[in-house]
Amino acid sequence: MRVLREMAYRAIPAGIGIPVILLLGWLGGWWWYVIVATITIVSLGEFYSGCFAKGFRPPSLLCYAWALVILVVAKQPPEVAWSLLGPVLFAASATIAIRCLAPPRHEYVGTVTSAVFGLVYLGVGLSFLYFLRNLDIPAMLGHEAAWSFSHRMGAVVLVVLAVWMSDTGAFLAGGLWGAHKLSPQLSPAKTVEGALGGLFATVLFVLLLGSLWLGLPCMEALALGLVIGIACQVGDAIESAMKRDLGLKDFGTILGPHGGALDRFDGVLLAMSAAYLYLVLVLPSHAFVAGL
């Protein structure tokens, strides 16, 4: 009963935030930019606050500005966005390195590294909310008559909700049956049973939603579920390692029981890029072979 009560308490912020995100995503344009930019800036702020506590001094305002530029780049058509992303990241890294030369200098290498890492891992990672939105899964599979929301937000909804289903499955399985620690050094609360429960929940969710709503072939949905399920747990482990190194329990408190924005989107970061690569590199060839 304690596990179920805590789940209900955790569901309150999601019940408020998800409809707003879905509406702005369906509207697209600058509406979607505002929500993605807000998540990015808040996540970067939480990460850089942890870096400050560690003794590094990343130039936050400069990094925020470059993050907004990266999101403008991601807003372009994919062929334009990918051609610009490399030069923009190099320019951002160079200006950050130059800015950190100004006195007073604190841990120069660590400061520059943490600033650039945050920009790449979070700024570029969250820009996949744009890259996924530009993927029209029903159209890729020849289902042109699908509902417009499926065309616009199908890939985003499938991946983000699958990650949150992984969190839910892991929380339930770990709370009810967890007995074997997964990685005590990184996260003492996580168990092998929780990890398996999260993976099972993710695969089942993608299999059902992907096939019934977006028209994914069952084997493709199953493979995508495995990709997302594994990637989001690796992403969660990366965030746990960062928090352990920075001496933090959570990156923030903006989402109440969920912690900060970065605590909520930790698994999403890696899962979005992995799912995007799968959908772009694997799905079209399989759809062509199947004659879809």
> Would you say residue 37 has pLDDT above 90?
yes
Number of domains in the chain: 1
Q: Which residue has the higher pLDDT, 250 or 209?
A: 209
Rounded to an integer, what distance in angstroms lies between the CA atom of residue 184 and that of residue 190?
A: 8
- pLDDT tens readout for residues 118-159: 999 999 999 999 999 988 888 888 877 677 888 889 999 999
> At a CB cut-off of 8 Å and minimum separation 6, what does 101 contact?
108
pLDDT band at 227 (very low <50, low <70, confident <90, very high): very high
The amino acid present at 287, given as its one-letter code, is A
Among 119, 102, 125, CA closest to 64: 119
- pLDDT tens readout for residues 3-34: 455 555 555 555 556 777 778 888 888 889 99
Q: What is the pLDDT of residue 289?
A: 43
The amino acid present at 284, given as its one-letter code, is P
Q: What is the pLDDT of residue 103?
A: 83
Is residue 232 within 8 A of residue 268, CB to CB? The reply is: yes
Q: What is the pLDDT of residue 290?
A: 42
Q: What is the pLDDT of residue 288?
A: 44
Domain holding 39, by residue range, is: 2-290
> Would you say residue 291 has pLDDT above 70?
no
- pLDDT tens readout for residues 171-219: 888 777 866 777 767 676 778 888 888 899 999 999 999 999 998 999 9
Rounded to an integer, what distance in angstroms lies between the CA atom of residue 136 and that of residue 150?
A: 8
Whole-model pTM?
Answer: 0.86
> Would you say residue 292 has pLDDT above 50?
no
Is residue 99 within 8 A of residue 66, CB to CB? The reply is: no
Is residue 260 within 8 A of residue 253, CB to CB? The reply is: yes
pLDDT band at 256 (very low <50, low <70, confident <90, very high): low
Half-sphere exposure of 279 (CA within 13 A, CB side): 29
Question: 108-118 and 78-99 helices cross at what angle (nearest 10)?
Answer: 160
Half-sphere exposure of 69 (CA within 13 A, CB side): 17
pLDDT band at 98 (very low <50, low <70, confident <90, very high): very high
Rounded to an integer, what distance in angstroms lies between the CA atom of residue 222 and that of residue 85?
A: 31
- pLDDT tens readout for residues 266-281: 789 999 999 999 999 8
Q: What is the pLDDT of residue 283?
A: 76
> At a CB cut-off of 8 Å and minimum separation 6, what does 103 contact?
none
